[in-house]
């Protein structure tokens, strides 16, 4: 049952009986604020035209009528123009019974909408780092949440496998690599190639310094540095399909893909389809030509192609370089068209950092000007950068935190802290390793996903593995604690799974049931806002409620069998919702800890 919808219908009938029919939009129901008594609140101000009474009188009259005619309402109070309604224990008991018997609780019916979500989008010139982790975790979680909202979701990755940045690593490997391979160095392929990206930058800066010392202006030195000219020439050869350049490109990219796959598996993310920029940029060029033919784009004297968006409050945007080579916008135009054509998409979501906000604003506008109305269904899920206590990361300078190293460190720290706290006592080595992997990754994922995507965040690895407070391990431990109680109940042959409605409920039990009832609406809101942080906040509050209840009230030692079974069933449903909500964040929860 959708409780807010049910209350709206009750209020609508009541208002019609008292004052005459009103439009459903005039019935405003919201959850009662915590400082007031009540479960749901009716805002009466939109109804004053039909009641022709004061807000207080209108609220009182509606409240009295609702209590008189609807058994599920136990009390009401009026605060100025707000009617606070309280539902009785039997109502919540019935909702609890519905939750316990609904195997698909919190999963919406199919909507028929096809939604594509692109995330990860790495460059093949370096390994994945902490910033990529936020991207991958956010994209994967939003995909899970959209699936729970009944949508058909297609998870895709666009690999930026061509361009000047790729050529930089290739040139540096040719100049300084001495034939090094992942096998000969014992390094993951993405790390090896990333080393040469850093090597390129080191030599590039040295060459600029030497040119400036010889009297060349710095901006001109950046253009004339020999190693940069070599990278630009390599890009031209690549686009001309030079066999030697293409062979080196395929070899080095292959090393990187193998490395990426290991990282994706460790993070627990996957994709339904992978696109490659090298396969889409030519389609983008055809769209650029189409824009020229339509007069939407224009060509400058150097042969480059642009669009003038100054009338739209933006500026002129480059779409194709003068030498005919593509820019990011070229391939994004082609990729967007290919995806909508191939997949009959209703929406496409790009998970990309906020430094690309302008890029996606331009992408939508360019497609709109070309006559593609589906551009309105492109959404940029922009997120803030991840910073460390030491400051920002820079790939070209080699100051990033590699994803592989971070995952390994998180698992190692989880092992150390779990052992200190006695969480691994009685576990076999295999079981301890499994739990620590779950806890380390859970800590990392939760710490990142609990933050609103739009915010820049500071990541503190050790703080994220605290077993108290708003952390993944705290939630995982709550789940493991409940599982321990349920195992003991099974050992004692207590049949709580078919527990009936209890005669009485404690206020704390009602609060837990109310929170369980909120789960579908939280999932719906997280889907509408593309916000895993809403799921994280909900799960933390549920765990806090249960832990407070567990601290104050015995479950297995409860003397009344009916109450004991109800409490076990309540604990079981809390564990189920913890598991489901954490799964939406891509986090596993342990059975013991």
Same domain assignment for residues 155 and 277: yes
Asked whether residue 280 falls in the same domain as residue 375, the answer is yes
Q: How far apart are CA 451 and CA 556, in angstroms?
A: 37
Report which of 45, 42, 34, 33 is spatially closest to residue 85, judged by C-alpha positions: 42
Please identify every stretch of the chain with a pLDDT value under 50, giving residue numbers as ranges: 392-398
Distances (CA, A) of 555 to 275, 280, 479, 494: 53, 60, 15, 12
The domain boundary, picked from 31, 64, 87, lies at 87
Strand partners, 160: 123
Report the CATH number that the domain containing residue 275 is assigned in CATH. Answer: 3.40.50.620
Check which CATH number belongs to the domain holding 22 and give it: 3.30.1360.70
Residue 394 included in any domain: no
Do 593 and 485 form a contact (C-beta atoms < 8 A)?
A: no
User: Which pLDDT does position 553 carry in this prediction?
Assistant: 95
Q: Given this model, what pLDDT does residue 515 score?
A: 97
Name every residue whose Cβ is closer than 8 Å to that of residue 304 and which is 6 or more positions away in sequence.
318, 320, 321, 322
Domain range holding 409?
A: 403-584
Please name which of 97, 143, 145, 93 lies closest in space to residue 120, comparing C-alpha atoms.
143
Task: Judge if 293 and 234 occupy the same domain.
Answer: yes
Q: What is the DSSP letter of 380?
A: E
Specify whether 278 is located in the same domain as 335: yes
Give the pair of three-digit tokens for residue 485. 């109680």
From CA 492, how far away is CA 241, in angstroms rounded? 72
Same domain membership, residue 574 and residue 460: yes
- Look up residue 312 and give its DSSP letter: G
Residue 126 region by backbone torsions, left for phi larger than 0, else alpha for psi between -120 and 50, else beta: beta
Residues 446 and 330 both lie in one domain: no
Closest by alpha carbon to 317, among 359, 369, 370?
Answer: 359
Res 394: pLDDT: 47
Whether residues 331 and 198 share a domain: the answer is yes
Tell me the two tokens of residue 415. 């092992």
Q: Tell me if 159 is assigned to some domain.
A: yes
In a domain, 96, yes or no: no
> Measured between alpha carbons, how far is 471 from 192 in angstroms, rounded to an integer?
34
- 14 and 152 co-located in one domain: no
Instruction: Clarify whether residues 451 and 544 are in a common domain.
Output: yes
How far apart CA 479 and CA 145 sit, in angstroms, is 21
Specify the CATH number for the domain of residue 511. Answer: 1.10.730.10
Q: Distance between CA 318 and CA 235 in Å, rounded?
A: 18
Same domain, 352 and 471: no
Residue 165, in any domain of the structure: yes
Domain membership of residue 381 (yes or no) is: yes
Parallel, antiparallel or unpaired: strands 273-276 and 152-159:
parallel
Q: Tell me if 393 is assigned to some domain.
A: no
**What per-residue confidence (pLDDT) applies to 397?**
47
Local structure of 73: helix, strand or coil = strand
Please check whether residues 366 and 421 belong to one and the same domain.
no
The 10 Å Cβ neighbour count of residue 184 is: 10
User: Given this model, what pLDDT does residue 395 score?
Assistant: 42
Residues 67 and 75 sit within 8 Å (Cβ to Cβ)? yes
- Residue 436 inside a domain? The answer is yes
Task: Give the chain's domain count.
Answer: 3
Please indicate, yes or no, if residue 98 is contained in any of the structural domains: no
CA dist 559 and 142 (Å) reads 44
Structural domain ending residue among the three candidates 47, 66, 87: 87
Which of residues 387, 412, 431 is at a domain's end?
Answer: 387
Confidence at residue 299, expressed as pLDDT on a 0 to 100 scale: 96
Q: How many degrees, rounded to 5, is the angle at CA 204 between CA 201 and CA 210?
A: 145
| Same domain flag for 203 and 60 | no
């Amino acid at each position: 049952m959708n409780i807010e919808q049910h209350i709206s219908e009750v209020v609508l009938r009541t208002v019609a009986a008292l004052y005459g029919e009103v439009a459903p939009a005039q019935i405003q129901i919201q959850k009662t604020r915590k400082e007031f008594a009540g479960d749901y609140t009716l805002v009466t101000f939109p109804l004053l035209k039909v009641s022709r009474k004061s807000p207080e009188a209108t609220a009182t009259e509606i409240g009295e009528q609702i209590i008189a005619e609807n058994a599920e309402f136990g009390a009401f109070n009026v605060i100025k123009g707000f009617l606070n309604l309280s539902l009785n224990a039997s109502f919540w008991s019935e909702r609890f019974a519905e939750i316990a018997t609904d195997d698909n609780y919190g999963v919406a019916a199919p909507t028929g909408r096809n939604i594509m979500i692109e995330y990860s989008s790495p460059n093949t010139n370096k390994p994945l780092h902490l910033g990529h982790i936020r991207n991958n975790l956010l994209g994967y979680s939003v995909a899970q949440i959209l699936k729970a909202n009944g949508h058909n979701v297609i998870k895709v990755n666009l690999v930026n496998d061509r361009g000047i940045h790729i050529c930089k690593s290739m040139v540096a490997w040719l100049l300084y690599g001495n034939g090094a391979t992942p096998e000969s160095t014992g390094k993951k392929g993405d790390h090896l190639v990333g080393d040469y990206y850093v090597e390129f930058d080191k030599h590039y800066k040295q060459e600029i310094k030497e040119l400036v010392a010889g009297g060349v202006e710095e901006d001109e030195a950046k253009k004339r540095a020999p190693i940069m000219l070599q990278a630009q020439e390599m890009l031209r050869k690549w686009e001309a399909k030079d066999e030697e350049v293409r062979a080196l490109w395929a070899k080095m990219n292959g090393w990187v893909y193998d490395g990426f796959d290991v990282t994706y598996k460790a993070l627990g993310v996957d994709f339904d389809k992978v696109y490659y920029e090298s396969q889409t940029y030519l389609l983008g060029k055809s769209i650029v030509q189409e824009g020229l033919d339509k007069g939407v784009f224009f060509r400058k004297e150097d042969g480059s192609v642009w669009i003038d968006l100054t009338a739209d409050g933006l500026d002129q945007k480059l779409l194709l370089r003068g030498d005919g080579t593509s820019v990011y916008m070229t391939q994004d135009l082609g990729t967007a068209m290919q995806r909508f054509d191939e997949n009959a998409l209703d929406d496409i979501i790009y998970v990309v950092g906020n430094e690309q906000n302008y890029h996606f604003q331009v992408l939508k506008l360019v497609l709109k000007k070309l006559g593609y109305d589906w551009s309105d269904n492109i959404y940029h899920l922009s997120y803030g950068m991840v910073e460390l206590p030491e400051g920002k990361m820079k790939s070209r300078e080699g100051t990033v935190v590699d994803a592989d190293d971070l995952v390994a460190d998180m698992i190692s720290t989880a092992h150390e802290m779990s052992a200190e706290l006695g969480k691994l006592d009685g576990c076999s080595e295999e079981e301890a390793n499994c739990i620590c992997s779950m806890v380390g990754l859970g800590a990392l994922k939760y710490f990142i996903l609990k933050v609103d995507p739009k915010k820049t965040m500071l990541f503190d690895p050790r703080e994220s593995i605290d077993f108290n407070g708003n952390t993944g391990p705290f939630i995982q431990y709550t789940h493991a604690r409940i599982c321990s109680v349920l195992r003991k109940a099974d050992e004692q042959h207590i049949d709580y799974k078919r527990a009936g409605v209890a005669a009485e409920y404690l206020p704390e039990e009602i609060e837990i049931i109310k929170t369980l009832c909120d789960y579908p609406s939280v999932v719906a809101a997280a889907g509408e806002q593309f916000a895993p942080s809403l799921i994280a906040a909900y799960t933390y509050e549920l765990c806090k409620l249960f832990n407070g209840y567990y601290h104050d009230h015995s479950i297995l030692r409860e003397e009344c069998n009916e109450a004991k079974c109800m409490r076990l069933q309540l604990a079981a449903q809390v564990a189920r919702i913890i598991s489901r909500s954490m799964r939406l964040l891509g986090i596993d929860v342990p059975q013991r800890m």
